[in-house]
Amino acid sequence: MTESRVALITGSSSGIGASIARRLSAEGIRVVVNSAHSEQAGKALVAELPDAVYVQGDVSDAEDARRIVRTAVEAFGRLDVLVNNAGTTRFIPLDDLEGADAEAWRAIFDVNVIGAWQMATAAVPHLRKSGAGSIVNVSSVSATRALGSSIPYAVSKAALNHMTRLLASQLGPDVRVNAVAPGLIDTPWYEGAEAVWESSREWITDNTPLRRVGTGEDVAEAALYLVNAAYTTGDVLTVDGGRHVV
């Protein structure tokens, strides 16, 4: 019997990452759950899944990134899929230029851009061995539109989109690299910013063709498609209920 694939999903103890972990697991893919801090939640998710392990680690730390990948390979003997979902933001109004100071830029880029790069470079040798390696980066519609939780966040996701295309151009045919770009998704992301969430939810519901905000499961379905789409690389798949067409 062919050994089932292994997927490492960063930042997957809750929200979109947890939804992706559950969806890939439901397809028979063995899953490595990761988080920087919420170890209890990560282990609880692993307990739900039939063949999964948890590894704590901060993707923005180079040694942690290497250790996360190493632990995944030690646990299952292979690595076929990397989902770069770990991300962070600061809720800073787009017109508050002083609020988006250098510290905020560094904190966001350390995770959203450098963290994704470090995970990819650590994982690529193992993904090449897979014979059908796949990287899926979790981006955002704010990468291409003048919106988002802050300017540093939106710019970090634009950088991630371009990283996706550059890596795709260099890693084929051994490894495919794609991204999924969610719109407004109902996750714990907005804890502490409930007023922003409620106003955003109302606006999206009124102005999006599908008349609702997204769920983690919506993003997970798109991620699964990209994991399996054997003739797709360098793509950024928008998951925003059609908002980008109006």
Contact 72, 7 (CB under 8 A): no
Which one of the listed residues 54, 153, 190, 231 is annotated catalytic? 153
Q: Which residues pair with 30 in a beta bridge?
A: 6
Is residue 130 packed enough to be buried (19+ CB in 10 Å), middle (13-18) or exposed (0-12)? middle
Q: What is the DSSP string of 43-112?
A: HHHHHHSSSEEEEE--TTSHHHHHHHHHHHHHHHS---EEEE---------TT-TTTS-HHHHHHHHIII
Q: Is 190 a catalytic residue?
A: no
Integer Cα distance of 54 and 17 in angstroms? 13
The DSSP output letter for 37 is S
Catalytic residue annotation: 153
